[in-house]
Structure 1
Amino acid sequence: MWRVITNSLLPVQRSIFECSGMRHFAFSKRLFLSDAYRCQEAWERRLQSPALQNIKLDDMYQELDSRFQNVGKASAIDIDLFANAVRDESYANDLEELLHKLRLSPNTTDMLHSTSHAVIRYFLSLRKYDELLHILNDRLNYGIFPDDYCCGLLMDAFIKENNYTAAAKVSVLQMLQEDWSHPITSHLALYSCHMYLKNPGSWDDPLDVHEPDDGEEVKVRVKYLRNPYFDDHFDLRDPQLLVGKTLATLGATFPDPVGWTYQLVGWGMYQKWDKAIRTLEQILKGQQKPAVFREGVEMFTDTLNELPQAEASADQLKGKFLHLLKELDSLGLVTDSDLHEAVVNKVKSVVSSKEKEAVEEQCKVYKEWETQKQRLLQEQLDELIRQQRLAKVQLEKEALVKREETLFFFDNQEKWELEIERKKVFYRRRYFGKRKKPRVEDDNYIPPEVKASRS
């Protein structure tokens, strides 16, 4: 069945890449990507900016926090500067808090792409993997969306540490974006999910602390009830379904035996049996030898055997699949080659041909971000100066009005008195009902004689 595969890193290699006119000599253990892919020198060059060198992190955090409390928003460029300036571990919680507050403010639409890179690289350098994955998975509250390069960077770091569960989680993030256009990222995602199936780990987020259920019913008042809805994409939570959909959509982009194999395995894990049948029919129709790996067929068969026996259509479905799989084997479309070796060779081939181009492109992007950041800072400074000038002009206008009132008081005394009279508030008299006629006094009136009554 599934063979236990020992991951042996390749010998120490020397990789040379030119990045922005500078050469990187990396002597390190390497599985796929070299140290040059990290573009560390190009990334560290941002710290030479005077805007970052003059930042005092404590003062800046207090100012940003005060803006969120008093005004309810802060500039996205200021959050970006803070994220790029932090280096110490003590600011991790502060950065996470500012990201959350920015996400809740209207300025979240102005968040820069460099902010996501800064956050990901900061937590990755501190090896705070749980905190980083928590932020990446909670896109609604933090708004950090890794691009193709960051996904590749994260998967490579996790693969080198044999943390295949974390690498598979990153590949799932790329699946949710429905974008497999970047060759290095897509192939690293394939290897990450491949190794996760070999070495599955706990998928639970250790930072999601749930209170123990004490059995008491808790009632929550809501304005209205939503109809239950499941989008079969962002609402997926089961790791088997997530990894299955990742492999299925990823395998569809590889027109080779590895792609067909993991497309079949993915549809089985995702429990989309109609698409699995369609995939088998396409393989039989093409009859390209070899078509699928036997190890993948065995993984699919194991998934098929997990179908509940209580379902009436389970036996019929299994029979149909077994018939198609036997037909595959009889036509010689199933190969006994090593699936792991095929995946590794496939990833190595793509990395060796695309890595240098990806490094040069990312270094160019970092330069463009620095230019963009300087422009945005200058625009923000110009706007601040303009607001200060407008405020100064307004104060001078108010002072001139007061001085004019003082100098021409007696000339305008009659006008002031009329203004004061006009400003008086006249209240209507209260109505107490119709007045009664006063009683008429009778001078000849004689009161009656009052006699004591006898009991």
Structure 2
Amino acid sequence: MLSSLRICQRGLVHMAGQISRRNFMSGHFRCQDVWSKRLSSPILQKVNVNDLFVQLDGRLDDSGSITAVDVDIFANAIVSGDHLDELDDIVHRFRLGTGSHQTLPTTHHAVVRAYLDFGDSSDLLRILDDRLNYGIFPDNYLNILLLDHFIKNGDFTSAAKIASMRMLQEDFDCMLANYMSLYACHKYLLNPGEWAPPAEPVKEDDEEIRVRVAYIRNPFFDDHFDLREPNALVGKTLHYTSRALGDSIGKNYRALGLILHKKWNEAENFTSAALKENARFNSSIIGLMDNFVGSLPEEEQKALDSVKKVITAARESSIKGDLLAEVTDQIKGLVKTEEKKMIDQQTQAYSDWETLRENVLKFELEEFNKKKRLEEVEKKKKELEEEEQEIFFFDNEDAIDLEIEKKRARLPKSKPKSVISIDYVPPEITVKKSWVE
């Protein structure tokens, strides 16, 4: 009896694991076979990753710049986790240069896929979040790939971070990515994880250290890229993403997002207007609102009486149901209609990007050879001029002398120095009184 109970418990645990490890996209969505075919291109077959890194590193040290196609070839040639540190370094230093605006689209995919396949998710999220210093921007395909990857692994904190990065870029034209973002944020709110990596402990030192700074910025908070608090980020993600939806799901998440973002006046006005239009909020959303408002300090809650009244009114007319299940149904429906289309588009894109890389590399080589030929022509021209001067020196001697005299004539004439006799005696200097006694 006891053994059968244990077997039953193990079965329930296994089922719970299967439920939490949901993935919406099929295995074909990764386009792994098509992506792997890039290695068969003549360009990448000739690449030795170690040698290429040494060359790029040397050029960055010497001139401080490399081309976008160099970075693209290096990123696409990586087939193991042994070169992820070098990839991090090259992408970062290239971004700090002047040619990062020419980054090829396949570079973004190569970096994301390399870290997904061989790296750590924390390093990938750090690179994606530091857009200023790395410049890796996922498109709709990559966003869905990342969301599905983290959702499948039950890492809803990382999935919510991807959703918040979409919000910061204000990119909401893909409905499938929108619903998956809402799903990730909702799952995160049900069981919040550690949003930021734990900070290293600061060692206390008695010695006071002063650092000279060029200037001190006036404090400014843009309420967008400066957001760091998890609830505010998730709240604004729910708010902005739901605006692209025209259904009741969007209204529910928009009200919740405004509450989490502490936009109290907007939350009160939006919820009141929705209730007047006979909109009914889901009880699970009302529960999340209550939990967040109830977790605030008492002093802050005292100023939220009007907001609490609106939440109470929404609760009284709320409907019971699983909003997360409704979002899941929307995602499944969109996957059926959009996945095949997105796979075909991405397959074609990978083929087009390979042709683009070849064309860009060909153009770069032509420009390099052209520059090299011009330098050789200038060098040869200078050598011929020097030889001409040597050969015709005596024929042009008079002209050279005349040119020297002209240059001397243009020089300022110095005054002749006065000659002082050896018997010279300086006069005696007397001081006259300039005041009246």
TM-score range, shorter chain: 0.7 to 0.9
Q: CA RMSD in A?
A: 2.7
Q: Which residue of 1 aligns with 2:118?
A: 126
CA distance in 1, matches of 2:267, 2:16: 30
Q: Which residue of 1 aligns with 2:128?
A: 136
Q: Which residue of 2 aligns with 1:317?
A: 304
> Are 1:187 and 2:179 an aligned pair?
yes
What pairs up with 1:11-90 in 2 under 5 angstroms? 31-90=23-82
What pairs up with 1:34-433 in 2 under 5 angstroms? 34-205=26-197, 209=200, 211-214=202-205, 217-288=208-279, 291-311=280-300, 314-315=301-302, 317-318=304-305, 320-330=306-316, 333-418=317-402
Q: Which residue of 2 aligns with 1:8?
A: 18
- Alpha-carbon contact 2:236-2:258 (below 8 Å) kept: yes
CA distance in 1, matches of 2:250, 2:17: 22
CA distance in 2, matches of 1:282, 1:440: 108
SS at match of 1:144: coil
SS at match of 2:115: helix
Measured at CA, do residues 327 and 9 of structure 1 come closer, stay the same or move farther in structure 2, by a change above 3 Å? closer
Give the deviation of 1:251 after TM superposition. Answer: 2.3
Q: Which residue of 2 aligns with 1:22?
A: none
CA distance in 1, matches of 2:340, 2:81: 32
Letter in 2 for 1:131: D
CA distance in 2, matches of 1:126, 1:30: 22
TM-score, length-scaled by structure 1: 0.83
Percent identity reads 36
Give the deviation of 1:212 after TM superposition. Answer: 3.5
Give the deviation of 1:209 after TM superposition. Answer: 4.8
Measured at CA, do residues 115 and 275 of structure 1 come closer, stay the same or move farther in structure 2, by a change above 3 Å? same
Deviation per CA, 1:234-291, whole angstroms, max 9, x where unpaired? 0011111111111122223233332222222211111111111122112212214xx2
CA distance in 1, matches of 2:138, 2:204: 35
CA distance in 1, matches of 2:211, 2:202: 16
| Worse overlay, 110-119 or 421-430 | 421-430
CA distance in 1, matches of 2:175, 2:382: 64
Measured at CA, do residues 138 and 254 of structure 1 come closer, stay the same or move farther in structure 2, by a change above 3 Å? same
SS at match of 1:335: coil
- Alpha-carbon contact 2:284-2:323 (below 8 Å) kept: yes
Deviation per CA, 1:198-241, whole angstroms, max 9, x where unpaired? 221111236x7564454765432122222110000000111111
TM-score, length-scaled by structure 2: 0.86
The total of aligned residue pairs comes to 410
CA distance in 2, matches of 1:213, 1:343: 49
More strand by share: 1
Q: Which residue of 2 aligns with 1:447?
A: none
Q: Which residue of 2 aligns with 1:24?
A: none
User: Which residues of structure 2 form unaligned runs of 5+?
Assistant: 1-14, 426-437
Deviation per CA, 1:180-207, whole angstroms, max 9, x where unpaired? 111121111111111111221111236x
| Worse overlay, 415-424 or 60-69 | 415-424
- Alpha-carbon contact 1:262-1:296 (below 8 Å) kept: yes
Deviation per CA, 1:66-89, whole angstroms, max 9, x where unpaired? 111111111111111101111121
- Alpha-carbon contact 1:123-1:129 (below 8 Å) kept: yes
- Alpha-carbon contact 1:164-1:196 (below 8 Å) kept: yes
- Bigger Cα Rg: 1
- Alpha-carbon contact 1:76-1:110 (below 8 Å) kept: yes
SS at match of 1:310: helix
SS at match of 2:74: helix
Deviation per CA, 1:306-356, whole angstroms, max 9, x where unpaired? 333225xx43523x23433443355xx411112232222222122222111
- Alpha-carbon contact 2:282-2:319 (below 8 Å) kept: yes
CA distance in 1, matches of 2:424, 2:78: 95
Give the deviation of 1:6 after TM superposition. Answer: 4.3
Letter in 1 for 2:313: E
- Alpha-carbon contact 2:282-2:318 (below 8 Å) kept: yes
